[in-house]
Amino acid sequence: CEQWKQWYQRRVRGVLNYYTNYYYKSNLSLAMQIFVQGTSTHAMSVAPETKVEEIRKRICTLEQIAIDDLYFHYAGVPLEDDITIMSIPDLSTIVASGKLLGGKVHGSLARAGKVKGQTPKVAAMEDKKKKKTGRCKRRIQYNRRFSTAVSAFGRKKGPNSNSD
């Protein structure tokens, strides 16, 4: 029984080694597919050992752009020419962009905030008390007319009279 176990383990190890070697050997020679997004999107099949410089040359001929004016970015990071594609995952999109020249900013930054600076400061208004409405107004009216009113002889006083 022990011999059978050892034979089985050797057999499994051999099969695993065979498949892993086959996978790694074939994976190096298999082409990866990379998408390059420029003025249009190009799908390219490249070997993992391919350098970015070779892809850049291919795109330059397709897009008819000078090689010095084309820059590659992957995930927001510029790609150097000596990097191999093996460091980029399969089916990834590389963005090809042209050289951006620095230039004059439209308008002067010295005048930024000009309108806000020359607008006069207006003092904040004092808060007026809001008029009561609805049920609350009716309650105050009732209290004024009936519950706290003292019946006096003579002429009825108005709500704005100051005389006692």
Q: Compare 134 and 9 and report the one with higher pLDDT.
A: 134
Beta pairing partners, 32: 46
Burial category of 72 from C-beta neighbours within 10 Å (exposed 0-12, middle 13-18, buried 19 and up): buried
C-alpha dihedral sign at 112, 118, 123, 128: negative
- pLDDT over threshold 70, residue 18: no
Q: Compare 50 and 164 and report the one with higher pLDDT.
A: 50
pLDDT digits (tens, 9 = 90+) for 42-65: 888 888 888 889 988 888 888 888
In this structure, of 11-25, 49-63, 98-112, the range with the lowest mean pLDDT score is: 11-25
Sheet holding 41-46, edge to edge: 41-46, 32-37, 93-98, 70-74, 77-78
pLDDT at 29: 52
CA end-to-end span of the chain, whole Å? 120
Burial category of 139 from C-beta neighbours within 10 Å (exposed 0-12, middle 13-18, buried 19 and up): exposed
Measured distance CA(58)–CA(8) in Å, rounded: 51
pLDDT at 132: 92
Residue with tokens 């050892």: 6
Residue (of 61, 66, 65, 83) closest to 74 by Cα position: 83
